[in-house]
Structure 1
Amino acid sequence: MKQRTVWNAQLYDQKHAFVAEYGKGLIEWLAPKPRERILDLGCGTGHLAHTIAQAGCEVVGMDASAEMVEQARRAFPELHFEVGDAADFSFTEPFDAIFSNATLHWVLDYQAAIACMYRHLKPGGRLVLEMGGAGNIEQIIRQLRTELQNRGYRSQSELQLWFFPGIGTYTSALEAAGFQVEIAQHYDRPTQLQSSAHGVEDWLSMFAGAFFEGVPEGKAAEIRAQVQAAARPHLFRDGHWYADYKRLRVMAVKPLRADKD
């Protein structure tokens, strides 16, 4: 059965706005042009789709979370948002570009997602993405798995929620689907969390809730607190918590003569 993450869209905007803030740099890679049709794949609460639309583009925002899409529609009623699966979506009109920020590491069937993106681009269209790369949030998740295991939550400790590839794995998959990869970067991006008291605990509540399914809330709170305490020597400095993010950023194009079509 596919694991569905239930998102708290308000908490996402209130305490994890860094996701959209870092995404603004990715828009510079996208360089949207007036009258282009652009898909924001994994649009979240719609802030980056709104920014892209200000360039005069027709933007479609899609996200797997109905909660996120509902909030995006309320915030930006002039834009089109819909719920969809990044590994299995369908639009009647192709796109000049597909933009995806902090989403594709949630898609375990990454080859299906790549095939979908390729099909939905016009020849000459571009794909601009950033996602978690190899080693992303390693400190936090290693400690989380240890705490769950130590408390007898074996199935939760073995959950595979994300796909964090290296450059070679992901660019090879893009090329196998027909893309021409123009730029690929893998880099460290320690990311400051909002709360100096509960930064890691808040991060776990927002992004790792699936690990706590079947765990009583009192026990889950204890585990989150213990993970944060164990991470302190590695992730707390100068009065702030930092998540140990490692990112993969890629720009690829669908060739004008696309053999895969």
Structure 2
Amino acid sequence: MNQLNRSWNADLYQQKHAFVFHFGEDVLNLLDPQPGERILDLGCGTGELTARIAESGAKIIGLDASLSMISKARESFPHLSFQEGDARNFGTDQPFDAIFSNATLHWINETEQPSVLAAVFKALKPGGRFVAELGGRGNVARILNALAKALNELGMLQPVNPNFFPSVGEYTTLLETVGFFVTLAQFFDRDTPLADPETGLNDWIAMFRGDVLADLSDQDRQTVLAAVNNQLRPTNFRDGHWFADYKRLRFVAVKPFEP
């Protein structure tokens, strides 16, 4: 689940944001890995879903651009193969039966999406499938808007959103443009409980918008976090837990056989 050229805290990810790979297990049902299949986990993070795929008997490789994530994956699952690599231009000498991706594609900006999808298409066998989930249109909009408002109140410019959260139509068009047949596309809301009932929202911001916080003084950081918490408590806190207002897009796309 990497953003290219971004530093990730692998420990914070495993300890406080395990929901990323826990919810990703649902996508494995769409992948339906088979014994002996050669599969790539694109943006494997700390490797939990890579390991689940391996349990099927598939020959799995995990790829991520974050060295900290790859290091944690190798530490946790030393029997599996993990590689540091760039989703925009990876290659392979032996094509894959399937490529899987969870919570990664939305970290690549819109202009670079065609390069990613072309690399995936090229790396698949004819008949191979690309199964993925990413953030969809409006994902975590309440959190991002509250953060932008809090920064604006300090006289700071709204931070650049590093994510691409597409609609179903936008992403299926991108897939079809590079040659895929899209056989399934789903968009749905999934309010997601955050791990710590008290600091869950702050933990989420530290994990996924930590670069914004890093530019603030300690006092300004606390001011911003308090403002975001106050604004979102009526909408994103219930039953003793913080929730992130996630919207997800899942798809299955197939590389056609040559005519």
TM-score tier by shorter-chain length is over 0.9
Q: How big is the shift at 1:213?
A: 4.1
What residue number does 1:85 align with?
86
Matching residue's letter, 2:69: M
What residue number does 2:117 align with?
114
| Secondary structure of residue in 2 paired with 1:189 | strand
- In structure 1, what is the Cα distance between the partners aligned to 2:81 and 2:211? 29
- In structure 1, what is the Cα distance between the partners aligned to 2:101 and 2:33? 13
What residue number does 2:159 align with?
158
Could you tell me the TM-score, scaled by structure 2's length?
0.95
What residue number does 1:133 align with?
136
1:118–1:3 distance in 2 versus 1, CA, 3 Å: closer
| Secondary structure of residue in 2 paired with 1:38 | strand
2:93 is equivalent to residue 99 of structure 1: no
2:64 is equivalent to residue 71 of structure 1: no
- In structure 2, what is the Cα distance between the partners aligned to 1:221 and 1:158? 17
What does the per-residue CA deviation read over 1:120-145, in whole Å, with 9 as the maximum and x for residues that have no partner?
10100000000000000000000111
Q: How big is the shift at 1:256?
A: 1.0
CA contact (8 A) 1:5 1:209 kept: no
Superposition map of 1:177-256 within 5 A: 177-256=178-257
CA contact (8 A) 2:4 2:86 kept: no
- In structure 2, what is the Cα distance between the partners aligned to 1:37 and 1:152? 52
What residue number does 1:47 align with?
48
Question: Which stretches of structure 1, 4 residues or longer, exceed 3 Å deviation after superposition?
Answer: none
What does the per-residue CA deviation read over 1:192-211, in whole Å, with 9 as the maximum and x for residues that have no partner?
01111111111000111122
What residue number does 1:12 align with?
13
Q: How big is the shift at 1:3?
A: 6.7
CA contact (8 A) 2:4 2:66 kept: no
CA contact (8 A) 1:159 1:211 kept: no
CA contact (8 A) 2:206 2:213 kept: no
Q: Which moved more, 1:168-177 or 1:76-85?
A: 76-85
1:35–1:5 distance in 2 versus 1, CA, 3 Å: same
CA contact (8 A) 1:40 1:60 kept: yes
Matching residue's letter, 2:124: L
| Secondary structure of residue in 2 paired with 1:245 | strand
- In structure 1, what is the Cα distance between the partners aligned to 2:25 and 2:85? 23
Matching residue's letter, 2:210: G
- In structure 1, what is the Cα distance between the partners aligned to 2:180 and 2:61? 22
What residue number does 1:143 align with?
146
- In structure 2, what is the Cα distance between the partners aligned to 1:168 and 1:208? 27
CA contact (8 A) 1:69 1:81 kept: yes
Q: Which moved more, 1:210-219 or 1:126-135?
A: 210-219
What residue number does 1:38 align with?
39
- The percentage of aligned residue pairs carrying the same residue is 47
1:195–1:21 distance in 2 versus 1, CA, 3 Å: same
* Unpaired runs of at least 5, structure 1: none
| Secondary structure of residue in 2 paired with 1:7 | coil
- In structure 2, what is the Cα distance between the partners aligned to 1:217 and 1:92? 49
1:3–1:129 distance in 2 versus 1, CA, 3 Å: closer
1:4–1:215 distance in 2 versus 1, CA, 3 Å: farther
What does the per-residue CA deviation read over 1:226-245, in whole Å, with 9 as the maximum and x for residues that have no partner?
21221111101111111000
- In structure 1, what is the Cα distance between the partners aligned to 2:94 and 2:222? 46
